[in-house]
Amino acid sequence: MYLKKMATLAGTLALACSTAACGGDSAAADTDTGSMQVMLFPALAYRLPVLIAQEKGFFEDAGVNVNLVSQPNNLQGAQALEATNSQAGQVGTATFAQGVQAGSNVQAFCGGITVTQSSIVAAPDADLPAISDGAAPQDVFQAISERTVGAQTPVGSGFQIMLDDALTEGGSSNLTWVNIGGSNSVTQASLQNGSIDVAQSNPSGTQALVESGAAKELIYLPDHSELYGQLYGSPWIAPASWLENNERTARAFCDATAVALDYIRDPQNQDETLQVLMRDSGINDVQIADAVLKTYDEYSADISVEVIQRTFDRYAELGITKPEPRLDASTLVNTVGR
């Protein structure tokens, strides 16, 4: 399957080269370096398409050199891009939207995850109901009331406000918030020392915590929250000025991640894909890792202006973002990638 995709990619790149005047007089062609730095949080599942593209040579075949760096736990969106001197990162749509309204000149250019893959986890011995034990979603949400919640982003950020809204809509109340970042080790320590009662977690961090006995999953939010399951999850973003001058590089990055997703979903590649995932995530149980692989059905390199606009509008309704100035997806989504 991925070989067919590579043939398509070659044709796409040839067309891109002709329309971008490769070797010609366009400013973009003159300044496009073919190299980029990409920031990623450690040990999370969204890294896998990038790692596969790197290890299988899909980036090289597409003509882009990608350097990977770790994203700081305490920085989000454009702030993290600037701090790490990176050209691209995958961020929650809420973080992207809020950053733009705060003055960040960034655009979404490639699809990432179509939903927001977050779970709520607790210490394994916590007296809290879980969906896996047969509890109803409303009982799980109500039981979180009066608790301290560990968020992955700063309190007041778009991603944290979105989580607060989802829990509140589900029936939680009187929550106390603490920013613990996206690190599994910090999540585990915070649950163990009692500084938080529950925490936000993402694949493959959730699976690793559960497998090690450090946590139990109470609820997977996309299955029980409109905000997490029906609005767009997280695109790849980049500085608008960089995208303007590096169209071919941005397109090549996005196309190569699409090839990697096809590779991941091909059953013939399951063993090799599992090895990469387990090595990067720290998961040791093949069955747990296999469960993580199923989450890649919620990934796509394609990005829809219409879906992003609907997500922006819903955020404004909920107060996650300001109603004015209205976020316009037609200008904030740069379709150079797809």
- Tell me, what amino acid is at 265? R
**How far is Cα 261 from Cα 255, in angstroms, rounded to an integer?**
10
184-186-190-193 Cα dihedral, nearest 10 degrees: 110
pLDDT digits (tens, 9 = 90+) for 114-137: 999 999 999 999 999 999 999 999
CATH of domain 2-115+231-332: 3.40.190.10
CATH class belonging to 119-229: alpha beta
**How far is Cα 42 from Cα 205, in angstroms, rounded to an integer?**
10
pLDDT digits (tens, 9 = 90+) for 60-73: 999 999 999 999 87
User: Comparing 2-115+231-332 with 119-229, is the CATH topology the same?
Assistant: yes
Residue 54 near residue 68, CB atoms below 8 Å: yes
- Domain segments of the chain as ranges: 2-115+231-332, 119-229
Q: 269-272: long-range contacts at Cβ-Cβ below 8 A with a sequence spacing of 24 or more? A: 269/2
Collapse the DSSP code of 59 into the 3-class scheme (helix H, G, I; strand E, B; otherwise coil) and give the result: helix
Instruction: List the chain pLDDT tens, one digit each, 338 residues.
Output: 444 344 333 343 333 333 333 333 333 445 787 999 999 988 889 999 999 999 999 999 999 999 999 998 777 788 899 999 999 999 999 989 989 999 999 999 999 999 999 999 999 999 999 999 999 999 999 999 999 999 998 898 878 999 999 999 999 999 999 999 878 899 999 999 999 999 999 998 898 899 889 999 999 999 999 999 999 999 999 999 999 999 999 999 999 999 999 999 999 999 999 999 999 988 888 988 998 999 999 999 999 999 999 999 999 998 889 998 899 999 999 998 77
